[in-house]
Amino acid sequence: PLTLTYQERGERLIGEYRVGAIPGRFTGTRTENTITADLIPAPDCAYTFEGTLTDTTLTGAFAPTHCPGGQPGTWTLELQ
């Protein structure tokens, strides 16, 4: 399971995500309903994320920018 917790500071987003028990940092920006972020699961690994935020979901795609063996993918999160 994937969870994301973040705080908004103006357009800036700062938080943490978890895939199972593995945490990672989440930093980005929000412009209207678009979120652009960096996902950092480890010091030597980074991904970019771009998604759409609605009243009930955050849906988007991620891709490795610097992560040996990293794979691209998508996620859909239900907001709570």
| pLDDT level of residue 65 (50, 70, 90 thresholds) | very high
pLDDT digits (tens, 9 = 90+) for 14-45: 999 998 888 999 999 999 999 999 999 999 99
Place of tokens 């917790």: 5
- Helix (H, G, I), strand (E, B), or coil: what is residue 64? strand
Of 48, 43, 46, 58, nearest to 6 by C-alpha is 58
